[in-house]
């Protein structure tokens, strides 16, 4: 990432480095079958309308991939369960789609992704599914729905744009639409890239990091990170790591943006956070002394995804497929990359600010759906004294 100083945020070998909630319970009865009407008076906004602003966005090339103008028109009504967190940003894109397609209407129900996943499973089990599509901010919630057989496979056309197989659920249960990488934000006035180990297991014993790091254990992304560590290293090694990090003086924060901001202001030398929080800091403060490092092949290199799933029992399966195709369009991926600083899921769209591409990172080889096995993680964190 280039700031006014000309420094890159990622300088290392892979440089470690809704709308309002609406009641949806009556939708099944009042929403009829959709009919795809390609005679709508459709006007696609210019690329600038899909693109964010700030120092990280300036000078970007036009995105590759399939443009909205080359996709089937969206027509009909869609009941959308959309996860919280980034859901507000995501729903703004849904509103843009409704502006583009006058015959397309979305009825949203927003809550945290885990709660919505539970609700979907309960509704499907009761034979009373209220949602057509579930847009979760994380793969663990998608995996929970899929594991409970509350989905219908997406079409080939819907999942084909996703560049990496690991970002598509088994049996095409879901498609990733935006990625986020675990990272180590560090203060460049205090540390250099060579101070950051290539594996998180080395962190507690690294002298340059003792008493200088921060984390946010209550944050969902941190729990997914610990879950990934359990899957890779086992419970005992993960418990020991949590204890060792506490004994090394790691400070606790409410969220990972606070961790990244505190790194930027020099109160912390480094921390654990999703990559996009440092991007937000840098977009607001181009000269902030913050860079990113990524570990290699372990839980610290986890790439999680927000994704979309077709809910079992929907009568609007074709519309769901076309909706997901729009989420993977060049305009949508440019939107997610430059508004929320997410990793694009399709080829031809670059991440912001000089971030390494997904191909340049070394994420662990795990099934993201298995991140839904959260209860053992919470128990382990309690045992280690790191209450989530």
| Band (85; pLDDT cuts 50, 70, 90) | low
In this structure, the answer to whether residues 192 and 161 fall within a common structural domain is no
Quick check: 388 pLDDT over 70?
Answer: no
Sign of the Cα torsion 334, 340, 341, 345 reads negative
Q: Which residue in this structure is represented by tokens 């859901």?
A: 87
Residues 6+ away with beta carbon under 8 Å from 167: 175, 176, 179, 305, 307, 345, 368
How distant is the alpha carbon of residue 158 from its chain centre? 18
Q: Which residue has the tokens 């076309």?
A: 322
Q: How many CB atoms lie within 10 A of CB 163?
A: 20
The distance of Cα 356 from the centroid of its chain, to the nearest Å, equals 16
Residues 169 and 223 in one domain: no
pLDDT at 38: 57
Structural domain contains residue 3: no
292-345 per-position pLDDT tens digit = 999 999 999 999 999 999 999 999 999 999 999 999 999 999 999 999 999 999
Residues 127 and 197 in one domain: no
Total number of domains in the chain: 2
Q: Using a cut of 0.85, tell me whether the model's pTM lies above it.
A: yes
151 and 129 belong to one structural domain? yes
Structural domain contains residue 9: no
Kindly report the CATH number assigned to the domain that includes residue 203.
3.40.190.10
| Structural domain contains residue 7 | no
Q: Is 201 helix (H, G, I), strand (E, B) or coil?
A: helix
Residues 189 and 220 in one domain: yes
Domain of 126? 27-179+306-353
């Amino acid at each position: 990432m280039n700031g006014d100083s000309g420094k890159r945020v990622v300088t290392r070998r892979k440089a470690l480095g809704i709308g309002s909630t609406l009641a949806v319970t009556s939708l099944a009865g009042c929403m009829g079958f959709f009919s795809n009407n390609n005679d709508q008076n459709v006007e696609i906004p210019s690329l600038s309308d899909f693109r964010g602003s700030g120092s990280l966005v300036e000078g970007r090339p036009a995105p590759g991939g399939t443009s909205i103008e080359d996709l089937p028109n969206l027509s009909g009504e869609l009941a959308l369960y959309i996860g919280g967190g980034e859901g507000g940003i995501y729903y703004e894109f849904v509103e843009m789609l409704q502006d583009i397609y006058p015959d397309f209407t979305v009825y949203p129900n927003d809550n945290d992704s885990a709660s919505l996943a539970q609700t979907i499973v309960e509704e499907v089990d009761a034979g009373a599914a209220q949602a057509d599509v579930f847009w979760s901010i994380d793969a663990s919630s998608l995996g929970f729905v899929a594991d409970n057989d509350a989905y219908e496979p997406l079409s080939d056309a819907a999942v084909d744009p996703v560049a990496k197989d690991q970002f598509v659920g088994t049996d095409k249960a879901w498609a990733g639409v935006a990625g986020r990488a675990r990272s180590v934000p560090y203060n460049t006035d205090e540390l250099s890239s060579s101070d950051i180990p290539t594996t998180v297991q080395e962190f507690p014993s690294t002298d340059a990091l003792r008493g200088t790091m921060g984390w946010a254990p209550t944050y969902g992304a941190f729990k997914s990170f610990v879950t990934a560590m359990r899957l890779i290293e086992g419970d005992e090694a993960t418990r020991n790591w949590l204890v060792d990090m506490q004994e090394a003086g790691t400070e606790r924060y409410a969220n990972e943006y606070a961790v990244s901001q505190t790194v930027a202001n020099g109160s912390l030398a480094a921390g654990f956070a999703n990559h996009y929080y440092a991007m937000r800091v840098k977009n607001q403060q181009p000269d902030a002394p913050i860079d990113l490092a990524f570990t290699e092949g372990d839980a610290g290199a986890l790439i999680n995804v927000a994704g979309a799933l077709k809910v079992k029992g929907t009568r609007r399966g074709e519309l769901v497929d076309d909706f997901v195709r729009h989420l993977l369009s060049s305009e949508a991926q440019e939107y997610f990359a430059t508004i929320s600083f997410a990793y694009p899921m399709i080829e031809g769209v670059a991440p912001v600010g000089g971030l390494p591409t997904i191909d340049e990172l070394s994420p662990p080889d795990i099934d993201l759906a298995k991140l839904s096995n959260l209860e053992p993680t919470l128990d382990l964190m309690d045992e280690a004294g790191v209450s989530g």
